[in-house]
Amino acid sequence: MCGIVGYIGYREAQPILVDSLEKLEYRGYDSCGIALCGSTMILRKDVGRITELEKRLSRCEAHRGIGHIRWATHGKPSQANAHPHLDCTGKIAVVHNGVIINFQQLREQLTAEGHHFYSDTDTEVIPHLIEKYYSGDLEQAVYHTIADLVGSFAFAVLHEENDVLIVARKESPLVIGIGDKESFIASDVSALLNHTSRVIYLEENDFAVITGNGVRVVNQRHKVWRKEREIPWSVESAQKGGYEHFMLKEIYEQPTVVQNALREYLSLSGNGLNIDMIKNARTRGVLLLACGTSYYATLLGKQLLEKIAKVPVWAEVASEFNYSEMVSERFLAVAVSQSGETSDTVKALKKAKSMGCMTLAITNVLESSISRVADQTLYTRAGPEIGVAATKSFTAQLMALYWLALSSSAVEMQICQSLLQEMRLLPDKIQQILDNAERIIPCSQLLAQFEHVFFVSRGLNFPIALEGALKMKEISYIHAEGYAAGETKHGTFALLTPKTPVIAITSPDNTYDVLLTNLREMKARDVPLITIASENDQEIDKFADEVIRIPDVNPLFSPLLNTVVVQLLAYYTARERGCSIDMPRNLAKSVTVE
């Protein structure tokens, strides 16, 4: 969940490290730091934002260095716990993403051997181990250190006496940027966009020795070749482009995201997927694995696959699946992760694959860890998403799941083609919502006054109620819960008062009438009621306090439109409350630890 950067070359390293760290701010962090190495090691780190640290930096001509933003796991946010960490000699600096499970045992052993520790982190054992094993050969010292570590890691090592950077990865992402007589490292490509478009993605258990003139990659002590690739994103795509926040920009990019998905998926020969594998899922069953927002996407995917493809589906929270006994080789296991690096989801897919399941990954990031585990990958191609709260990536995941359901469909070809034709209208309908987004602001101004809110719906839109509640709590810090409307009578009604607004997502489908009954029951408890409804729905006006209208659409696709509304509702509420929208407190964009 932390972010790593590094540089070695002919330019001054410090401004490159600072710029690269700023590009990783979206990951979420509470402290930051850099280590620079010329004739001596220079360490600068502290709690807080990179911009604050930058103000305290004096010019340094060092041409190599490493940097880090930290999201606290072991030890509270503090200057001592911030990375980089040094060994006892002060000559070795390390930045690390991941979790060292056996750090306490290693720390006790090293302490008994005379090493002194200054932080509460698991990471600090790494430079001390390297110091222990170092006798002039840094590579060998790092090899021995890795052999002692139990857990996950992507780390970078800087040594005062060695004009190289050494990096290693296990279960955490790391990418190397290739320049002209210079090299870069980062947790993901967004940190490199200003400096190079040429990258090498390290694979599991890779170890690399990096200089300004090249990279040597080793795996299991054998030199290996890793293909150089072009970053598919532009610098401009990772900038705000005039919007107040990245989140707002990414919400407004969704018509294009849906259009691109349609173009990608309707050209079956262009996405490289084995359609027969997907169609076979009709008789084998599908297991959907994900966490957080992606899990809510799979809850809708479950309904779509069951409704359209007539296939049995199980949707499981990946972090819980990893400790369950449920698995069967008959499944098609589909893992969904925006970053492709979500630790629990990658682990779950590995477990399913080890049991003989066919595997498919749905992700937004090329060459991510999950795509290397899966038999096949369906890329959502939403472009870089900088805001911590997922918006366009969630919509892109829904589009992938719609396509998965239609491509394995049990419905007649004529009906399938009719549905595809309706999907082509979705970008324009989403754009209509965005063109009238200011109509949502009064509802957000109302919600901003409360500390508790409920999202309810039924059927296909129940997962959107869950997602709406998640977005609201993520960025506005309002306690929000999502419910299937019929379940609210089982306990939740005890909480309904004039101080607990309800946002109801309606759709003119087979759940409509019973949902209205549920809402009337809630309104009888004097709750402020905001509804999201079709432009042709006149019944809802009779008892709702506020109605947010969406264009008329086939109920099957109403979740896509309603998703945009709940995103805007959360965004404007957070803005009204003055919250940090793109970087909400305590959260990280990519959860790369269990």
Among 132, 429, 473, 589, the one annotated catalytic: 589
Q: Any idea which residue has 């019929």 for tokens?
A: 486
Is residue 589 part of the annotated active site? The answer reads yes
SS3 assignment, position 513:
helix
Sign of the alpha-carbon torsion through 369, 372, 376, 377: positive
Among 2, 32, 291, 443, the one annotated catalytic: 2
Task: Please report how the helices 254-266 and 392-407 are oriented relative to each other, as an axis angle in degrees rounded to 10.
Answer: 30
Q: How far apart are CA 444 and CA 101, in angstroms?
A: 44
Distances (CA, A) of 369 to 261, 323, 331, 451, 588: 22, 21, 21, 39, 18
**541 near 512, Cβ under 8 Å?**
no
Q: How far apart are CA 532 and CA 540, in angstroms?
A: 9
H or E element at residue 165: strand 162-170
H or E element at residue 16: helix 13-23
| CB proximity list for 238: less than 8 A, separation 6 or greater | 23, 190, 193, 384, 386
Question: Of how many residues is the chain composed?
Answer: 594
**229 near 371, Cβ under 8 Å?**
no
Is residue 307 part of the annotated active site? The answer reads no
Distances (CA, A) of 140 to 143, 181, 208: 5, 25, 12
Catalytic residues: 2, 589
